[in-house]
Chains A and B, each alone.
Chain A
Amino acid sequence: EPEVTQTPSHQVTQMGQEVILRCVPISNHLYFYWYRQILGQKVEFLVSFYNNEISEKSEIFDDQFSVERPDGSNFTLKIRSTKLEDSAMYFCASSTRSSGRKDTQYFGPGTRLTVL
């Protein structure tokens, strides 16, 4: 069964450094998402992406964050100048149709980001 993959599984970085989290969505999916979960807190929506554009973003997703689909398979989340509070598990998800509201979002296993 096709699945969403994420690399790396664990990323450790120094405060102020830039990180890129990578995701490979399911191949025929059109909608892509990033969520994060700070330890002990809820899973939070960051951004949705369709047709090479951000379709919706949360208040968390400020200028520090950016997303990109650099080729036909990868979907990346870049965090510039990381802060301690960016430490979290980051989940990528994808779904099938152009209107993703009703469709199942398939989640990757997550990347644990630790900012020191």
Chain B
Amino acid sequence: AQSVTQLDSQVPVFEEAPVELRCNYSSSVSVYLFWYVQYPNQGLQLLLKYLSGSTLVKGINGFEAEFNKSQTSFHLRKPSVHISDTAEYFCAVSATDSWGKLQFGAGTQVVVTP
């Protein structure tokens, strides 16, 4: 079984400041890792994913994440946020031997203010 912990439920940040959203996971098997974003009144949209290879993954809208196997973490970062980045962000894992079942964290609400 897998579990995902997002350490911050809400992160306030000023426009043009950097942001880091923390995600830790536990699993007895190998996993793939994902970050999804949910804008108000919309569905979940994939930001980026780690399947294998380079541990630094770049996604859409200037986001990147780093997979750290020893720390079982997959933290999401953006060097300079915009007002439009205000949304809820979900970290998720999928066991490599599953049929695509995603296990989500509780989400982190990012609020960007001018």
Interface segment out of the listed B11-19, B70-78, B92-100? B92-100
Stretch at the interface among A42-50, A62-70, A80-88: A42-50
Residues of A in contact with B, size category: 20 to 34
With both chains docked as a complex, state the minimum distance between the C-beta of B101 and any C-beta of chain A, in angstroms.
5
Residues of B within 8 A of A48 (CB): 99-101
B residues adjacent to A (C-beta < 8 A) = 32, 36, 41-46, 49, 51, 90, 92, 94, 96-107
- Complex Cα spacing A91 to B90, Å: 14
Q: Are A42 and B100 in touch, CB under 8 angstroms?
A: no
- Asked whether A102 lies within 8 Å of B106 as measured between CB atoms, the reply is no
CB nearest neighbor in B for A110: B43
A-B contacts, CB under 8 A, total: 64
**Known contacts A107-B43, A109-B43; A56/B104 CB under 8 A:** no
Q: In the complex the two chains form, is A101's CB within 8 Å of B43's CB? A: no
Shortest CB–CB separation between residue B77 and chain A, in angstroms? 21
A104 interfacial contact with B, CB 8 Å: yes
Contact with B along A65-103 (1 / 0, CB 8 A): 000000000000000000000000001010100001111
Take A33-B100, A56-B98 as given contacts and tell me if A104 and B49 are in contact as well, using a CB distance cutoff of 8 Å. yes
Q: Which of A41, A56, A58, A91 contacts B44 (CB 8 A)?
A: A91
Task: Given A42-B105, A42-B107, decide whether A101 and B41 contact each other with a Cβ distance below 8 A.
Answer: no
Report which A residues bind B (CB closer than 8 A).
Answer: 4, 31, 33, 35, 41-45, 48, 50, 55-56, 58, 91, 93, 95, 100-110
Can you pick out 24 interface pairs between chain A and chain B where the beta carbons lie within 8 Å of each other? A31-B99, A33-B100, A33-B102, A35-B102, A42-B106, A43-B104, A43-B107, A48-B100, A48-B101, A50-B99, A55-B99, A56-B98, A93-B44, A100-B100, A101-B96, A101-B99, A101-B100, A102-B32, A103-B100, A104-B46, A106-B46, A107-B44, A108-B43, A110-B43
- Indicate which residue in A33, A102, A106 contacts B51 across the interface (CB closer than 8 Å): A102
